[in-house]
Amino acid sequence: MILAGGHQGPAVSEPQTLRRIAVVGTSGSGKTTFARRAAEHLGVPHVELDAIFWGPGWTQTPVDEFRARTAVALAGDAWTTDGNYGKVRDIIWSRADTVVWLDYSLPLVMWRVLTRTLRRIITREELWSGNRETLREAVLSNDSIILYSLRTYRQRKRQFQDLFHDPGYAHLHLVHLRSPRAARRWLEQLPAAARRAGRSDEWL
């Protein structure tokens, strides 16, 4: 596995290797937005794992079905995807050629989780399968996404560090981005197959 990226001037893989990109990072790092933007640049489909996993009423898709649907969604020759689901990591990483790790600081991640959650609650933003976040579930519940992000931040960091040393994933090119600025610069250097001039995004 090759390490690329950093605070200053992240490196970019050769275009022919950027066909199947998996984006990982702790909750609140902006994985979905990054993966969607990368897909737009490359002109490939974007597969959002949350949309596959979550059913109406925040029901979870059974593991066998989740794995089967993920395999079908990623059967193509080119795509980007985002998510930390260990249940399907073997399917994704065995097919991917590149893993982008958004490894941002805890204060930044928590600020993003807080502002995103509040925005979704206030605007009643519809998420996957018609689900919406509520104040009770997002803030006051034991399943609070805010508490979850805080509790799992260091765990995720250690987990990814271990995974990237797994010889089973030696074929992957790792892009390790430690700041939104590095993420923006990496995206800007991608082949602009579908770049939208002048677009900006607060999550990158």
Q: Is residue 204 a part of any domain in this protein?
A: no
Q: Is residue 198 a part of any domain in this protein?
A: no
The parent domain of residue 22 ranges over 2-188
Contacts of 42 (CB under 8 A, 6+ apart): 18, 21, 78, 80, 190, 191, 193, 194
What pLDDT score was predicted for residue 57? 86
What pLDDT score was predicted for residue 3? 53
Q: Is residue 202 a part of any domain in this protein?
A: no
What pLDDT score was predicted for residue 110? 92
Distances from the Cα of 123 to the Cα of 12, 51, 202, angstroms: 37, 20, 17
What pLDDT score was predicted for residue 145? 82
Q: Is residue 197 a part of any domain in this protein?
A: no
Q: How many domains does the chain have?
A: 1
Mean pLDDT per 10-residue run, the chain (204 residues)? Answer: 47 60 92 95 94 92 97 96 95 96 95 88 82 75 80 90 89 94 93 47 47
The CATH number covering residue 132 comes to 3.40.50.300
What pLDDT score was predicted for residue 137? 73
Q: Is residue 200 a part of any domain in this protein?
A: no
Q: Is residue 79 a part of any domain in this protein?
A: yes
Q: Is residue 199 a part of any domain in this protein?
A: no
Chain centroid, CA 3 distance in Å: 18
Q: Is residue 93 a part of any domain in this protein?
A: yes
Q: What does pTM read for this prediction?
A: 0.83
What pLDDT score was predicted for residue 150? 87
Residue pair 100/185 in contact (Cβ under 8 Å)? The answer is no
